[in-house]
A and B are shown apart, each in its own frame.
Chain A
């Protein structure tokens, strides 16, 4: 059974700092890995999707990498801003072979960017 772990559970940084959020998964047989942002009491906003054949994806100040063999993904945020404060979730899509798609989520990293 796929397990997804995110470290650290919480992170506080001063504005402008570059930072890395870590995600690890136990089963390397995945379709893709997706990073989400969740604001308190709100839904999930998709940030980046990395397919299993890709090594990284970039969107603006965000860069996500994927190393399937080691079961790890990282989300790099450049020049952090107070508006980046949120919980960041990673989710792995296990390769079931049956054409299904279900995400296994980590518990998230709660990021606080201090002005």
Chain B
């Protein structure tokens, strides 16, 4: 069964460093997303990406964040200068078409120290 793949599964970084989280969405999907979940809290929407551009972003997704689809398969989330409060589980999701099922990856646990 096709699945969304995220790497790494766990990343520890020092405050102020840049991190790149990687995702390989399901191959025929057209819509791509990043969500995050701080420990013990709700899953929160960060950004949606369609047709090679951001279609929507939340207030969390400030200038420190960026997304890219550098080739036909990868979808990345970059955090330029990490803060302690960026520590969370980051989930990538994709779907084939609007109003269809969203498939999530297993997540990357980011720990900023």
Contacts and interface: CB of A to CB of B under 8 A. Distances in A.
Interface in B83-97: 91, 93, 95
A34 B99 CA distance: 10
B56 interface: yes
B25 interface: no
Interface in A1-53: 31-32, 34, 36, 41-46, 49, 51
B49 to A, nearest CB: 10
Contacts of A72: none
Contact of A106 (B42, B100, B109): B42
Contact of A102 (B33, B41, B109): B33
Contacts of A32: 99
A49 B43 contact: no
A104 interface: yes
Contacts, number: 63
20 contacts: A34-B102, A41-B109, A43-B6, A43-B107, A44-B43, A45-B104, A46-B101, A46-B102, A46-B104, A98-B56, A99-B50, A99-B98, A100-B48, A101-B33, A101-B98, A102-B58, A105-B42, A107-B41, A107-B42, A108-B42
